[in-house]
């Protein structure tokens, strides 16, 4: 029997989590329709993000996120934990207090398109990240404001988040 390397184990665990998420979405869609499924999905993912980031924050020993440097340290640690290679996404820090997230490909877009619900799908991916910011208790603004799925409407997906830290 083969012993899995840390990265192989991480990939399997994240793929399993994403499959659970997709199956939950699909079955909720069948039972409740797209409008209610979008609403429940976004609320659940954001609430999960708040809990998730607090666990990660505790695990890496960052008590409070008071500065952009604190934020960068926690965000980089969290991203390393939750991002898998198949996700084809990344982030950059183009300037002080600014985070940019980019999707080269989007697994959610591909899955939702496959089940035929992309026209009315409301993206839940960034809700997880917004939940992180809420859990960190930091102020932020998001551009662009997106309704629906940007990958579907624009062929690309990104967000630029600007943070305000109290002095």
Mean pLDDT of the chain: 93
Domains and CATH numbers, the chain: 6-164 (3.30.1380)
Q: What is the pTM of this model?
A: 0.91
First to last CA, the chain: 55
38-55 confidence digits (pLDDT tens): 999 999 999 999 999 999
**What is the full per-residue pLDDT of the chain (167 aa) written as tens digits?**
989 999 899 889 989 998 999 999 999 999 999 999 999 999 999 999 999 999 999 999 999 999 999 999 999 999 999 887 777 788 999 999 999 999 888 889 999 999 999 999 999 999 999 999 999 999 999 999 999 999 999 999 999 999 999 76
pLDDT over 70, % of the chain? 99
Name, in order, each residue with C-beta under 8 angstroms of 2's C-beta and a sequence gap of 6 or more: none
């Amino acid at each position: 029997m083969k012993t899995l390397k840390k990265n192989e184990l991480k990939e399997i665990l994240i793929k399993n989590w994403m499959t659970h998420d997709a199956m939950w979405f699909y079955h909720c869609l069948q039972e409740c329709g797209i409008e209610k499924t979008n609403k429940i999905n976004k609320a659940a993912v954001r609430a999960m993000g708040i809990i998730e980031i607090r666990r990660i924050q505790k695990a890496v020993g960052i008590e409070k996120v008071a500065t952009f440097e604190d934020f960068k340290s926690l965000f980089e640690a969290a991203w390393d934990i939750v991002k898998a290679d198949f996700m084809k996404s990344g982030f950059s820090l183009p300037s002080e207090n600014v985070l940019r997230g980019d999707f080269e490909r989007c697994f959610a877009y591909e899955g939702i398109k496959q089940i035929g619900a992309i026209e009315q799908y409301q993206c839940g991916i960034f809700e997880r990240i917004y939940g992180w910011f809420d859990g960190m208790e930091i102020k932020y603004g998001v551009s662009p404001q997106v309704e629906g799925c940007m990958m579907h409407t624009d062929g690309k997906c990104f967000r630029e988040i600007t943070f305000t830290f109290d002095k």
